[in-house]
Structure 1
Amino acid sequence: MNKRLIDYQPMDLAQPAELVAAIRKRRGGKFINLDRMLLHSVPIAEGWNHYIGAIRNQLSLDPKLRELGMCGVAVLNGAEYEFIHHAPPFKEAGGTQEQVEALRLLGQATFPKHLFNSIEQDAAELTLQMTRNIQVHPELMKRLHTELGNTAVVELVSVIAAYNMVSRFLIALDVTPEDH
């Protein structure tokens, strides 16, 4: 087994106290391995906690669409850690176990679109296009804008962009699920 290039910060890390407290508060009192890796750089951890905290907790976007985007990015980029952390909130927001399993097929010809309503299908397609192609078909953006409006489209695009950043960080630094 390969040794991790950069070890996680300790679970009982106490400094910088204000940042550690803010991260623990957002996480319900604990750290996850992502936090423990981020804390090697205080400016990155501070910015991440603020920005991703806003993405996770302050948007007006339907939480199911938010988590669909996050799960879709995870699958498309091979970031299992990200998927493990976002499948439960997707279900809490109204997704089904069948939809969770279907999201694992995003980007494949066998993706069962019929399990999702039309706006969810468009959100999944947006996730696919932004993650794989970067550019998005204008017709898709028009449909999303008509259905969701300015704020929700900006928020959905931001979620997908942000979680592409998250997955790339996780994969490059080999951040693994907490049970490993």
Structure 2
Amino acid sequence: MARIPYADPAHPDHVDAAGHIVASRKKLGHLHRMLLHAPPIAKGWITMFDAVRWDSTLSGRIRELVMCRVAAINDAPYEWEAHAPLALKEGATQAQLDALRDWEKSDAFDATERAALAYCDAMTKQVHVPDDVAAKVRSIFPPRELVELTVTIAGYNCVSRVLEALDIKGTDPL
């Protein structure tokens, strides 16, 4: 059970933010129901993550692989369960998902994916990215995509931290 009850989307204080979420996502997920406790944050969250997911020029495969890698590092199963199917739809393979927890020892990833995953690991585990890792992604990704990659990794670290701190699971919030 989550650490606090899920917010009631029908509550007058939550209706506007709930409508904003549903307009974007077509449903209210567990995370969204929790975020409704802070309606301006819920709306801002959706706006930011819509930009990360739908307005980015970054490859969907890379985007979803780093989201899953963040989930693996942070032991965030709800995040993994949400994004592993999306990674497959975006062109990642089941072999890549199976190897993602120990990706450095796998030959399932190409040079671009390896650079993105190394960058993800550094950002998630160390915060400060070593110069050699930064130089590698900078040599592969144009500036816009590098910013999008960086914000995707940072953003989904935020997602996993909210999920885990509030103990949001994949069970029905009602």
Is the pair's TM-score, using the shorter chain for normalization, greater than 0.5?
A: yes
Q: Where in structure 1 are there 5+ consecutive unaligned residues?
A: none
For the 8 Å contact 2:30–2:172, the answer to whether it is kept is no
For the 8 Å contact 2:58–2:149, the answer to whether it is kept is yes
Equivalent in the alignment of 1:46? 43
Q: Is 1:92 aligned to residue 92 of structure 2?
A: no
Q: Residue 110 of structure 2 aligns to which amino acid in structure 1?
A: N
Task: Give how far 1:124 is off.
Answer: 0.8
Secondary structure of 1:114's counterpart equals coil
- Listed as ranges, the matches of 1:1-180 within 5 Å are 4-10=2-8, 13=10, 15=12, 16-27=14-25, 29-106=26-103, 111-178=104-171
Task: Give how far 1:19 is off.
Answer: 2.2
Q: Kindly tell me the number of residue pairs found equivalent between the two proteins.
A: 172
Q: Where in structure 2 are there 5+ consecutive unaligned residues?
A: none
Secondary structure of 2:72's counterpart equals helix
For the 8 Å contact 1:74–1:80, the answer to whether it is kept is yes
| TM-score (ref. length: structure 2) | 0.91
Structure 1 residue ranges (4+ consecutive) displaced by more than 2 angstroms after TM superposition = 12-19
Identical residues among aligned pairs (%):
35
2: distance between equivalents of 1:4 and 1:34? 10
For the 8 Å contact 1:32–1:178, the answer to whether it is kept is no
Task: Give how far 1:172 is off.
Answer: 0.3
Larger deviation, residues 166-175 vs 14-23: 14-23
1: distance between equivalents of 2:78 and 2:129? 26
Task: Give how far 1:14 is off.
Answer: 6.1
1:4-57 deviation line (CA, Å, top 9, x unaligned): 4301124x6364433222211221x21110000000111211111111111111
Secondary structure of 1:85's counterpart equals helix
| TM-score (ref. length: structure 1) | 0.88
